Structure 1
Amino acid sequence: MPSKIKEPNQQLAQLLAEARFSNQGLAERIVRLGKARGAPALRYNHSSVTRWLRGEQPRHPAPEIIAEVFTLELGRRISVADIGMRAMAIPPDTGLEIPTTKADTSRTASLLWQADAEQQRLLIEADYDPSAFAAAALRWLVGPWDPTPQPRTSGQRIGMADVEEIRQVTDAFRILDNRLGGGHVRRPVVEYLHTHVGPLLREGRCSEEVRRPFFSAAADLTKLAAWLYHDLDRQGLAQRYLIQALAMAKFAEDYGMGGEVLAAMSQQAHYVSQAGRAVDMARAAQSAAQRAGLPILITECQVMEAHGYAAQHDARACALALTRAERTYERVTGTEVPPWLHYFDEAYFAAKIAHCFRDLGHGEETERYALQSLKMDPSYRRGKTFNTAILALALATQGRVEEACTHARTAIHMAAGLHSSRVYRYIRDVCRALGPYASEPDVGAVMDLAEDRLPALRVREERP
């Protein structure tokens, strides 16, 4: 029997009135859309809607279809909660396993985006799984994969115009992310994935020539969504998005994108103190990058490997990996850089090297490369904040307190207005490094400034 809601459904009644639907009109729209969405068994009429208004709830997938009917009619996002019903609970491990068929990839990604858009608590509060990346990378590299996805013979036709739209939307969101931080961009990205990319992925049909760039574009936007969550320190969701982006890159047959996603996995593993896993992911990323024939991507993957060694305090392995990265970078030419890798230049390379020396505790080398990293494109506001903070930290560890405070103040002013947990972490690290000099007036002024501009940090509590 359908589950019951005790009270009359006033939310559904209000939406019916706003959309000017009769009970029968709503029922007919639900049946038509259900057929288009692969649910032809939906059989509803005016009596069904009457029961829902009294408080009864239909079984899945009807609530989702009803919400979509109103979304299409009213021109704004209507969730299952907005229609006074309960969404289907999605298991909290959704997205942790990499799908190996196109159908499973479409279904899993769509479920992940839906649960995220609906803010299902068990999923959005999920923790990072230390073992998931290794399993995903191994399956991505060796399979088994569905070699010949069955083409759809019905559904919306996907063309290169759709692919180009996704690319342009991704570029726009990426610019906003770099300037404002992940917190300001997360919601519209998830909504676009759920309401636009999801239906194309599940129900669209296209030629083989369009399929590859379509999946590649979807992978890029999904990777960006992962990075937004990484920036907000919601690592469980970021991990799930990266795994699904990796699957999409496989069906795009885009080894460059796959290598970029694996490199992102390496960075996330480093961030959550899984240094050994960071090395593993970086080496897997190199395999994909070599297959793609992209020296600049190989360089990125090699420096990520070095970063993993640095986190393990293995200076020799780190140095060898950095030497390989520098030699590879010498082979890079500007014409071969894909658009999604335009951020990787000499300044970015220097920043990654500075991070390696930071983890090794080598203040002078960190300072040298941090200074080089500041010769970067100023539009990357968050990245420049990171690099300025790294320079301040390097100076503090050398006891050059006045210089450290100068750069710390710059980083704090840049951080204000950025919705980024990672930026806060960098500023907190600088304040900790300045902690031994807390009695000096310049340091006290920096602490006051941090608490004034970034009150969530509570830097006074971070002092030794």
Structure 2
Amino acid sequence: MGRQPKQPNRQLVELLDETRPPLSRKGLARRVVERGRAVGVELRYDHTAVGRWVAGEQPNSPGPELIAEVLTEVLGRRVVPSDCGMSGGQNPADLGLEFSLSLAEATAAATALWRSDVERRRFLLGASYAVAVYPAASMRWLTLPGPEHPVSAGHRRIGQTDVDAVRTMTKAFRDLDNRVGGGKVRSTIVHYLHSSVTPLLHGSYNEPVGRQLFATTAELTKLAGWAAYDLEEHGLAQRYLIQALRMSRAAGNIGLGAEILAAMSHQATYVGRPGDAVDLARAAQIAARGAGLAALESECHMVEAHGHAARADSSSCATSLNAAERAFTRADSSRPAWLDYFDGAYMSAKTAHCFRDLGDFARAAQFAGQSLNMSDGYLRGRAFNLCLLASALAHDDPHEAARIGTEALDIISGLESHRTHAYLREVRHRLAAYTALPDIDHFRRQVLAITMRTD
């Protein structure tokens, strides 16, 4: 039997005819592309694509969802994909990018994100950084009334043993992430969240257990986001960090919320949004002060300093560095497990980043050298710090920079971390003027080989 011809999409035609002023095919395509870009989805629709939709072709998800959202905005009433003569998916294109208003919505959004990630849904693959979502999430985090009451009446009884099991797995995943890089653990973390944590969130628990469960789940969700960031999957990382922030809010754990906001600030600087990084860092400081954790407050000042450095604002950077140092001197040894990494070596590394971005390579080298006095187990961090030192030395001592860079290469060969490759490329770039020197040329060829092979 022959293939049935496509039927014209009269519902879409009628909706377009209803718009005032009339929305052209080119105008619809442009709006859909812009809406996709706002949630980190890159599309290539034009008026010919709209012509195919009118003729009866179904765009791939999240196309139907985005088309419905655009028409909702233009018509001033809610439009869903079926109204457009299209079959939309179960999840919107912005899944995970919104800080949910209610606890039920938050649980549904997080578990849907994990499920969609496990299923490798198309709209999550290659999602780019969405510039507006972090400011919106941080504002809602600051203004959402509370406290919330995380209780559930599901079939399975959830107790302290269940929470402790998630906590143990989170520690194991955190250690692995530091030792082997996000690429080797991310998918395992996501599968664990989907298969093991989702049933717990849907179980039966009282408020004390629920607060612990949401806090521990927030830690693990943040780690999944950090692993995605390490792979430079920035749009995916955003979704996980926003959901982690939401869960920390449900748990009433403002210190963990501050830590997640600081992670968002870290990423914002990395992707070239230093203004957003400063705003996120300042929101994190508000929470850190409320949590009474001086070390956490110090970290939040450090990420603000890095944002200022990326904006070439040396005065504001110095003010934030001084504030970070003052807070660090008040810190005691008692801190949550998720803050164990923040020590003097980490402070030195972040300070070195600031001076490097400000062009003060002598002081960058000084602090980068101090950062190498770090705890065991942080292999990826050591690779970062070695590259940082090599970058700072490249102009004055290129031979030493290449030697230190080679030491970093030896570590990075055992990691799966795209961020470490970015650090290597930075060193390679700074040594470009010295390619006539055999050791420099050899190092630059090694960097090119490893980054081209694995990126």
TM-score between the two structures when normalised by the length of structure 2: 0.79
Q: Return closer, same or farther for 1:303/1:144 CA change in 2, 3 Å cut-off.
A: same
Q: Is 1:424 aligned with 2:421?
A: yes
Whole-angstrom distance in 2 between the partners of 1:127 and 1:103: 27
The answer to whether the Cα contact below 8 Å between 2:150 and 2:207 also exists between their aligned partners in 1 is no
Which whole-Å CA distance do the structure 2 matches of 1:401 and 1:161 have between them?
55
* Counterpart residue number, 1:205: 204
Match of 2:361 in 1: 363
Map 1:55-66 → 2, pairs under 5 A: none
Instruction: Give the CA RMSD over aligned residues.
Output: 1.7
Following superposition, the deviation at residue 151 of structure 1 comes to 3.6
Residue in structure 2 matched with residue 341 of structure 1 by the alignment: 339
Instruction: Give me the whole-angstrom Cα distance separating, in 1, the residues matched to 2:203 and 2:105.
Output: 15
- Provide the C-alpha distance between the structure 1 equivalents of 2:141 and 2:151, rounded to a whole number of angstroms: 22
Which segment is superposed worse, 276-285 or 437-446? 437-446
1:443 maps to 440
What's the CA shift for 1:88? Answer: 5.0
Deviations 1:140-164 (A, max 9, x none): 001145x554743332111111111
Relative distance call for 1:150 and 1:425 in structure 2 (3 A) is: closer
d(CA) in 2 for partners of 1:162, 1:100: 27
Supply the AA of the counterpart residue of 1:168. Answer: T
Aligned amino acid, residue 318 of structure 1: C
What is the DSSP-based 3-state SS (H/G/I as helix, E as strand, rest coil) of the residue aligned with 1:330? helix
C-alpha change, 1:403 and 1:457, in structure 2 (3 Å) is: farther
**Matched residues in 2 for 1:444 and 1:426: separation?**
17
For residues 160 and 457 of structure 1, what CA distance do their matches in structure 2 show?
42
* CA drift at 1:284: 0.3
Shift in CA distance, 329/149, structure 1 to aligned 2, threshold 3 Å = closer
Q: Secondary structure at the match of 1:361?
A: coil
Secondary structure of the 1:129 match is coil
For residue 347 of structure 1, what is the amino acid of its counterpart?
A: A
State the match for 1:138 in structure 2.
139
Q: Which residue of 1 aligns with 2:323?
A: 324
Q: Give the corresponding residue for 1:313.
A: 312
Name the counterpart of 1:157. 157
Does residue 1:406 correspond to 2:396, yes or no?
no
Matching of residues 20-419 of structure 1 within 5 Å: 88-144=89-145, 147-149=147-149, 151-201=151-201, 203-335=202-334, 337-397=335-395, 399-419=396-416
Please say if residues 248 and 256 of structure 2, whose CA atoms lie closer than 8 Å, have aligned partners that are also in contact.
Answer: yes
CA contact (8 A) 1:92 1:126 kept: no
C-alpha distance in 2, partners of 1:204/1:323?
Answer: 47
Paired with 2:266 and 2:344, the residues of 1 have a C-alpha distance of: 19
**1:188-229 per-position Cα deviation (integer Å, ceiling 9, x unaligned):** 10000011111221x212112111111100000000000000
Deviation at 1:449, TM superposition (A): 2.6
Task: Pick closer, same or farther for the CA change 1:294–1:159 going to 2, 3 Å.
Answer: same
* % same residue: 45
- CA drift at 1:168: 0.7
d(CA) in 2 for partners of 1:262, 1:382: 22
In structure 1, give the amino acid aligned to 2:164.
Answer: E
Give the number of aligned pairs: 369
Q: Deviations over 1:122-156 (max 9, x none)?
A: 123222111100010011001145x5547433321
Per-residue CA shift, 1:98-141, capped at 9, x if unaligned? 01221111100011000000000112322211110001001100
Sort the Cα spacing of 1:151 and 1:252 in 2 relative to 1 into closer, same or farther, 3 A. closer
Deviations 1:283-329 (A, max 9, x none): 00000111100000000000000000000000000001000110110
Q: CA deviation at 1:455?
A: 4.1
Asked if 1 retains the 8 angstrom alpha-carbon contact of 2:150 and 2:211, the reply is: no
Structure 1 counterpart of 2:349, one-letter code = A
Identify if the C-alpha distance between structure 1 residues 148 and 447 changes in structure 2 by more than 3 Å, giving closer, same or farther.
Answer: closer
Q: Is the 8 A contact 1:100 1:144 kept in 2?
A: no
Given residue 249 of structure 2, which amino acid in structure 1 is its aligned partner?
Answer: K
Q: Partner letter of residue 334 of structure 1?
A: S
Match of 2:3?
none
Q: Whole-Å Cα distance in 2 between the matches of residues 93 and 331 of structure 1?
A: 41
Q: What does residue 67 of structure 1 align with?
A: none
8 Å contact kept, 1:223–1:245 = yes
CA offset at residue 445 of structure 1? 1.5
Q: Which amino acid aligns with 1:167?
A: R
How many Å separate the matches in 1 of 2:151 and 2:215? 17
CA displacement at 1:451 relative to structure 2 = 3.8
**CA distance, structure 2, for counterparts of residue 445 and residue 378 of structure 1:** 29
Which ranges in structure 2 are unaligned for 5 or more consecutive residues? 1-86
Unaligned runs of 5+ in 1: 1-85, 459-464
Check whether the contact 1:93–1:123 (CA below 8 A) recurs between aligned residues: no
Counterparts of 1:284 and 1:133 in 2: how far apart (Å)? 11
Tell me the distance in 2 between the aligned counterparts of 1:457 and 1:435: 22
| TM-score normalised by the chain length of structure 1 | 0.77
Amino acid at match of 2:374: M
Distance 2:406 2:439 in 1: 10
Q: Which amino acid aligns with 1:342?
A: D
Q: Does the CA contact (< 8 Å) of 2:98 and 2:242 recur in 1?
A: yes
Query: Matches of 1:117 and 1:333 in 2, distance apart?
Result: 40
Q: What displacement does 1:379 show?
A: 1.2
* Superimposed CA distance per residue, residues 213-267 of structure 1 (whole angstroms, 9 cap, x where no aligned partner): 1110000000000000000000000000000000100010000100000000000
**2:305 partner SS:** helix
2:173 and 2:185 in contact (8 A); partners too: yes
Deviations 1:68-121 (A, max 9, x none): xxxxxxxxxxxxxxxxxx995522210111012211111000110000000001
Equivalents in 2 of 1:93, 1:116: separation in Å?
A: 13
Is the Cα contact below 8 Å between 1:100 and 1:247 reproduced in 2? no
